[in-house]
Structure formats: structure tokens, C-alpha cells
Amino acid sequence: MSLAFPPGHPQAEEVADALVRARAASTLVDLYGAWLRLRVAQAASAAARAEESERLETRASFLLKSVESARALRPPPPDPAKRKAKGLKKADDAYAGFLASAESELAGARRALHERTEHKKKLFGRETAALQAGILERVEAVLGHRRPAVEACVQPVGSANALCHLARPGEEEAALLLGFVLSGKLPTRYDAFFDDSVDDLSLPPARFYEEDGASARPASVDVEDALVADPARAFVPVKGMIAFCLPERDFPRFRLVNRGPLSEVEARESADGGYSQLLSREAAELLSGYLIRLQVEGRLELVLKVG
């Protein structure tokens, strides 16, 4: 296992341990745990390389300024009338040689750092892809003998609207499986659906993790929807919810939000609207129809209550 760290580098053991654990993981909780350790090791490795790069640039700047200072401080030649030009040329050659030697050494250090950086990016990329493939394979295997159980309740509100909620999944793996059946995607964290942590008490809980290029609080609901619907993403950094849409339909789009003992359904029914707990009757019927379809296809076990 080549880690491309200098001998004795403080991150080498941490990264090696993360890789060993990642390759030995088999259950979903272990696979996700290995992925989290790998992300932590990757972040630590990137931070260490950034610090090393900063030190190199600080050293380069210091040496350049030092040579400039040396040139400014050099004493006049002993015989200005005869040796001025010769003395200046010798001094300039000496300073230029010193600077060229230092710059050559720094250039070599920059190249070595760049090579390590590229190697680490490829290494972490390969290991992450292998872990994600293992998670997807494991989810498919579990779903082969275990269907998510869904207890859904639709409560009409007048003649035109309805409130919908589902019984909350009993544990993390059940939430993972349900999310995959509903959306075809998986969260980036094993306990994402049950994560009710807050980063700012003055704001509602963030619905995303700040990772994989995503913001914890995207700029708009369109950005949020684009993130969860991105076909290039098999894993989405959602937090405290399951986001999904219906096959071959742009709208309505749904969110199953963790609200303690219940999971409330929110719907976005048009491009110019946001998510709301109050669904139109049509949206509620479409959601119920989708759940019934998944049951008929043998992908989940459904108990549907109306009223």
C-alpha cells in the first residue's frame, strides 16, 4: 500500500488505518463508518499539504526578500575608482547564484508536493468509489430479503387539501433502505435521517451537510432540488430528510422530514413555489399512488390510512 507520504509524516498512520478499515468493512454501518474515517483522513491530509505549501511559499518569499536586502546592504568596494564595476559584477553573480540555488531547491519541493497531492487525490478517489460501490451492493443485497415497512396516513383538510405523514423508520438502516426505495439514492451519512443537530439556534435545522461541494444551506429551493436530483450523484448530503420525486414527473416533489415520532411529508407542487406541509389533494393522491405502486412491485410493505 503506497501512501506517498514522506517518512515519519504524522498523517501516514491515520490514513493507513482508514484504508485498512475501509477495505475490511462489510455491513452498512461498518461501510459508512469506514467512509467517514476516510473523509476525515482525507481532510487531514489535505490540510497538512496546504500547510506544507504555505511554508514553502513563505520560505520562497523570505529568501527573495533576504537576497534583495543583502544587495541593498553590501559594502562599497575597497577601490571605487578601479574595482567598482568588477566588484558589483562579482557580488551580483554571487547573489544570483545563491538565489538560483534556493529557487531550484524550492521548485523541487513544489514538484514533490504536487506529485503527492495528485497521488493522494487518486488514492482517496479510488477508495471512496470502492466504498460507495460496496454500500450500494450491500443495500441491494439487504433489499433482496427485507422490504421497508411504511405506515402512511393521509388526513384530508377540507375538500382540496391534505396532510400526510409516515411513521418514522425504526432505525438507521431502515431509513437508508426506505430512502433508496423512494429516491434511488443514498445519504452520505449512515445516521443522516436521524441527525437533528443544529449549527445556529436562530435558524431552522440545515437540511444538507456541507460536503461534496454542497452548502449546508443552499441559496434557493431550486439549488436544493438540483442537488438531490443530480443524476451524477448516487449519494446526496441530505440531513434529517428523504427527498424524492415521482417517476417521469417534474412536480410535485416530496420531502419526508424527520419530526420526532412522525415523518412529515412536504411537497413542492410547482416551479414557482416552495415546500409545504399542506398538500393539494392531487399531490396527496399522487404520493399515495406512488407508495401503492412500490408495494405492488414488491419493493415495500405498505399500510395506508386515510382520514
Q: 104 — alpha (psi -120 to 50), left (phi > 0) or beta? A: alpha
Pairing of strands 161-167, 279-280: antiparallel
Percent of the chain residues topping a pLDDT of 70: 87
The yes-or-no verdict on residue 9 having pLDDT over 60 is no
Mean pLDDT of the chain: 86
pLDDT for 57: 83
More confident residue, 89 or 207: 207
**pLDDT bracket for residue 14 (50, 70, 90):** low
Q: Which of 16-30, 191-205, 293-307 has the lowest mean pLDDT?
A: 16-30
Domain ranges of the chain: 12-143, 149-306
User: Residue 79 — very low, low, confident or very high, per pLDDT cuts 50/70/90?
Assistant: low
pLDDT score of 82 more than 60:
no
Q: What whole-number distance in Å separates Cα of residue 214 and Cα of residue 224?
A: 9
Please say if the pLDDT value at position 269 is more than 50: yes
Query: What pTM was estimated for this model as a whole?
Result: 0.79
Going from the C-alpha of 12 to that of each of 2, 19, 30, 34, the distances in angstroms are 10, 11, 22, 16
pLDDT of residue 4: 44
